């Protein structure tokens, strides 16, 4: 096993162990743990192991490692007392625009945005409800003096109470129903695009693009069928549906570290990248060593040179004042391609 | 009728007349609707009318994909380097700056890198890329090798490019002269100090024309 994989395994083991300990702590040594949810709990633990392992391996890639290191340095710069207030506001603004509203997807296309926004918020609500339940961190107990009231226990500590037969109770206990509606609507919109758009059809892959949609659809529909079974059908087929639902959820949890779902964890890098670019703009700029125009931040170009060397590329130009091809702007690179071919033809004609 | 995998892309900047037809056609492609991914670059606008069409060369070992921190750029089994995968791209600009041919474009509004993907919706179905379909001068040619050999007996396709100490091999070929020049690769960085061919356009060309007519 390579050093990187060993490190990634250790990280994955440590994070999974921390979660396992949090489960025993939060559920009062499994006292408040719902035994019916055991398969989900183990699937969650496996998913956390897989996600952490893949994340650690991803961070080890030279370009990712460079951004990871630079990102933390930039973060420390942002904490400078003179700028910390404005940076915190900018950070929050970006966080809300990017993650809560998906503004960049809105600009890519309205229907694409609607599909993603519904799927995302449906999943966020569902995860926020189920993970604390699956880990035994949240529990509902009847009040001792009034069985019509539930009190919410978080990590065993009593918090708010509400009447079971109330609007709050109805909305709370049907949280997964609302999230299912959002997910199903979003998935149908996404599938419609994937089935009708020539460009998407040419590029999409089953495991990467379609399977996640099918899985989310299957979870939502089987979940709704469970609700329908116990609400209107006196529990008809409930056991079968419960197993079917568990299979879809567990498969999805185990699939999280692979394929498209992993972007949920990767996209955290966008905020760091935005601040990296901000700092770059404020610093010295790189000038093209052919045309003299500024084309990027000097920090970015120097970081890329380091990364390219780590990757084994040899764009160095030791006999030239240019030193490294990375110091040539993209426009000049394109022009050079035409010039180089022209020179070959000139030489050919000169030599007869 | 040639098999699909016998079709290859050949570019010949020396034949480019700068008509922009490729740019217009490129934006019609379904995989990047409304956005032209081809670059039509003036080699030296002040000195020359020479233009060069630049499409993605689809490197065997694509630097853009290697330097991508999000692992967003993938190559298909048939060697086509795709645009950044939308969910993964973090708009860091690494690929734009690292590509030795200067191909990827950062669409800032979308926070997404887009690039020429050989009109994958078309080429994967046996059709020509949009740019090669409309190019009137044959600067962009998509077809089987025997056909281009027959059409261009004085040229040979070349797919190795030198940048400093780095040799890059590509799926797309550039047409180079046959005959006395025996270069195995196109040394791009060797022409760093070259300018476009001196074809300065005299701004008083019309007055000269009229002057000569008057003289007759």
Q: Which of B40, B64, B67 to mutate to test the interface with A (most CBs of A within 10 A)?
A: B67
Do residue A156 and residue A260 come from a single domain? yes
Question: Hey, which residues 144-203 in chain B have their CB within 8 Å of chain A?
Answer: 161, 163-166, 174-177, 179-181, 183, 186-192, 194-197
Do residue A141 and residue A260 come from a single domain? yes
Do residue A233 and residue A290 come from a single domain? no
List CB contacts (< 8 A) between B71 and chain A. Answer: 58, 61, 64, 266
| pLDDT at residue A349, as a whole number | 79
Cβ within 8 Å, pair A347-B187 = no
Q: Which of B97, B170, B179, B183 to mutate to test the interface with A (most CBs of A within 10 A)?
A: B97
| pLDDT at residue A75, as a whole number | 83
| pLDDT at residue B182, as a whole number | 67
Which among A311, A325, A347 is the nearest to B163, CB-wise?
A325
Do residue A7 and residue A85 come from a single domain? yes
| pLDDT at residue A292, as a whole number | 94
Do residue A228 and residue A331 come from a single domain? no
Q: What does the angle CA A90 – CA A66 – CA B54 come to, to the nearest 5 degrees?
A: 90
Q: What is the ipTM of this complex?
A: 0.89
Count of other CB atoms within 10 angstroms of residue A293: 12
Q: What is the mean pLDDT of chain B?
A: 87
Do residue A162 and residue A300 come from a single domain? no
Do residue A254 and residue A310 come from a single domain? no
Cβ within 8 Å, pair B100-A336 = no
Min Cα distance B203 → chain A (Å) is 24
Min Cα distance A274 → chain B (Å) is 8
Percent helix, strand and coil across chain A, each rounded to 5? 70, 10, 20
| pLDDT at residue A84, as a whole number | 87
Question: Hey, which residues 64-93 in chain B have their CB within 8 Å of chain A?
Answer: 66-71, 82, 85-88, 90-93
DSSP A283: S
Is A85 inside any structural domain? yes
What would the two tokens of residue A348 be? 């050919």
Cβ within 8 Å, pair A301-B97 = yes
Q: How many domains does chain A have?
A: 2
Residue ranges covered by each domain of chain B: 4-55+120-215, 60-115
Cβ within 8 Å, pair B121-A198 = yes
- Could you please state the CATH topology (level 3) that the domain comprising B4-55+120-215 is classified under: Alpha-Beta Plaits (3.30.70)
Nearest CA in chain B to A265: B88
What is the spatial distance between Cα A116 and Cα A267, in angstroms, rounded to a whole number?
14
Which among A66, A67, A339 is the nearest to B43, CB-wise?
A339
Spell out the alpha helix ranges (H) of A157-210.
Answer: 167-173, 175-196, 198-203
Do residue A248 and residue A295 come from a single domain? no
Do residue A172 and residue A295 come from a single domain? no
Same fold: B4-55+120-215 with B60-115: yes
Domain-ending residue, one of A212, A240, A271: A271
What is the spatial distance between Cα A200 and Cα A212, in angstroms, rounded to a whole number?
15
Task: Tally A–B CB contacts below 8 A.
Answer: 209
Cβ within 8 Å, pair A317-B39 = no
List CB contacts (< 8 A) between B46 and chain A. Answer: none
Is A117 inside any structural domain? yes
What would the two tokens of residue A179 be? 């999230």
What is the spatial distance between Cα B199 and Cα B47, in angstroms, rounded to a whole number?
6
Per mean pLDDT, which range of A5-14, B65-74, B184-193 is the poorest? Answer: B184-193
Domain-ending residue, one of A209, A239, A271: A271
Average pLDDT over residues B27-50: 90
Cβ within 8 Å, pair B98-A326 = yes
Cβ within 8 Å, pair B191-A340 = yes
What is the number of H-type helices and E-type strands within chain A?
15, 7
Per mean pLDDT, which range of A257-271, B27-41, B49-63, B75-89 is the poorest? Answer: A257-271
Is A109 inside any structural domain? yes
Cβ within 8 Å, pair A345-B177 = yes
List CB contacts (< 8 A) between A190 and chain B. Answer: none
**Interface membership of B126 toward A (CB under 8 Å):** no
**Interface membership of B111 toward A (CB under 8 Å):** yes
What is the spatial distance between Cα A182 and Cα A169, in angstroms, rounded to a whole number?
20
What does the pLDDT look like over B136-159, one tens digit per residue? 999 999 999 999 999 999 899 999
**Interface membership of B121 toward A (CB under 8 Å):** yes
Do residue A257 and residue A322 come from a single domain? no
Do residue A34 and residue A118 come from a single domain? yes
Confidence grade of residue B196 (pLDDT, cut at 50, 70, 90): low
Do residue A328 and residue A239 come from a single domain? no
Confidence grade of residue B15 (pLDDT, cut at 50, 70, 90): very high
Nearest CA in chain A to B124: A202
Confidence grade of residue B180 (pLDDT, cut at 50, 70, 90): low
Ranges in chain A, pLDDT < 50 = none
Confidence grade of residue B80 (pLDDT, cut at 50, 70, 90): very high
Domain that holds residue A298: 284-350
What is the spatial distance between Cα A33 and Cα A58, in angstroms, rounded to a whole number?
34
List CB contacts (< 8 A) between A334 and chain B. Answer: 39, 41, 52, 54, 101-103
Confidence grade of residue B197 (pLDDT, cut at 50, 70, 90): low
Strand runs (DSSP E) across A218-300, as ranges?
A: 285-287, 294-297
Strand runs (DSSP E) across B48-196, as ranges?
A: 51-54, 105-107, 112-114, 140-144, 155-163, 166-177, 186-187
Q: Is the pLDDT of residue B4 over 60?
A: no
B60-115 architecture in CATH?
A: 2-Layer Sandwich (3.30)
DSSP B6: G
What is the spatial distance between Cα B56 and Cα A152, in angstroms, rounded to a whole number?
58
Min Cα distance B213 → chain A (Å) is 35
Q: Which of A334, A346, A351, A352 to mutate to test the interface with B (most CBs of B within 10 A)?
A: A334
Cβ within 8 Å, pair B70-A307 = no
**Interface membership of B50 toward A (CB under 8 Å):** yes
Cβ within 8 Å, pair B68-A63 = yes
């Amino acid at each position: 096993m390579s050093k990187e994989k060993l490190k990634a395994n250790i990280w994955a083991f440590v994070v999974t162990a921390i979660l396992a300990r949090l489960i025993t702590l939060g559920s009062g040594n499994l006292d408040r743990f719902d035994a019916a949810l055991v398969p989900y709990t183990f699937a969650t633990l496996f998913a956390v192991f897989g996600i952490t392992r893949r994340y650690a391996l991803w961070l080890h890639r030279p370009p990712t490692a460079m951004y990871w290191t630079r990102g933390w340095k930039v973060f420390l710069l942002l904490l400078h007392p003179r700028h910390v207030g404005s940076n915190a506001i900018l950070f929050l603004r970006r966080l809300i625009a990017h993650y809560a509203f998906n503004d960049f997807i809105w600009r890519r296309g309205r229907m694409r945005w609607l599909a993603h926004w519904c799927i995302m918020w449906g999943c966020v609500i569902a995860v926020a409800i189920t993970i604390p339940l699956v880990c035994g961190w949240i529990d509902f107990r009847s009040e001792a003096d009034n069985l019509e009231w539930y009190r919410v226990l978080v990590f065993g500590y009593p918090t708010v109470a509400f009447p079971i037969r109330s609007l709050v109770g109805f909305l709370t206990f049907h949280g997964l129903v609302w999230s299912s509606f959002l997910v199903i609507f979003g998935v149908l919109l996404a599938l419609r695009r994937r089935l009708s758009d020539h460009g998407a059809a040419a590029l999409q892959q089953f495991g990467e693009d379609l399977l996640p949609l099918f899985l989310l659809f299957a979870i939502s529909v089987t979940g709704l069928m469970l609700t329908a079974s116990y609400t209107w059908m006196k529990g008809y087929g409930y056991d079968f549906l419960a197993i079917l639902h568990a299979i879809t959820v567990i498969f999805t949890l185990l699939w999280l570290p692979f394929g498209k779902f992993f972007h949920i964890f990767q996209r955290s890098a966008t905020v760091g990248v935005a601040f990296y670019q901000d700092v770059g703009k404020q610093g010295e700029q790189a000038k093209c060593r052919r045309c003299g125009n500024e084309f990027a931040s000097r920090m970015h170009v120097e970081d890329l040179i380091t990364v390219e060397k780590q990757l084994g590329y040899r764009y160095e130009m030791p006999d030239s004042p240019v030193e490294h091809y990375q110091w040539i702007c993209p426009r000049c690179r394109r022009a050079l391609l035409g010039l180089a071919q022209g020179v070959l033809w000139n030489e050919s004609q000169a030599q007869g | 009728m040639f098999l699909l995998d016998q079709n290859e892309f050949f570019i010949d900047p020396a034949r480019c007349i700068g008509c922009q037809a490729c740019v217009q056609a490129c934006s019609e492609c379904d995989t990047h609707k409304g956005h032209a991914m081809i670059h039509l670059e003036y080699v030296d606008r002040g000195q020359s009318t020479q233009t060069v069409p630049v499409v993605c060369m689809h490197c065997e070992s694509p630097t853009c994909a290697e330097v991508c921190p999000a692992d967003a750029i993938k190559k298909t089994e048939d060697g086509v380097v795709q645009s950044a995968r939308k969910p993964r791209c973090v708009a860091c600009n690494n690929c734009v700056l690292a590509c030795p041919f200067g191909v990827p474009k950062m669409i800032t509004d979308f926070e997404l890198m887009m690039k020429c993907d050989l009109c994958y919706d078309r080429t994967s179905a046996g059709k020509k890329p949009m740019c090669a379909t409309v190019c009137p001068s044959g600067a962009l040619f998509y077809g089987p090798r025997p056909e281009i050999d027959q059409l261009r007996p004085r040229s040979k396709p070349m797919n190795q490019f030198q940048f400093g100490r780095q040799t890059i091999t590509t799926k797309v070929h550039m047409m180079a002269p046959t005959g006395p020049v025996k270069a195995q690769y196109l040394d791009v960085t060797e022409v760093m100090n070259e300018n476009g061919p001196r074809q300065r356009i005299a701004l008083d060309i019309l007055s000269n024309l009229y002057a000569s007519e008057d003289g007759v």
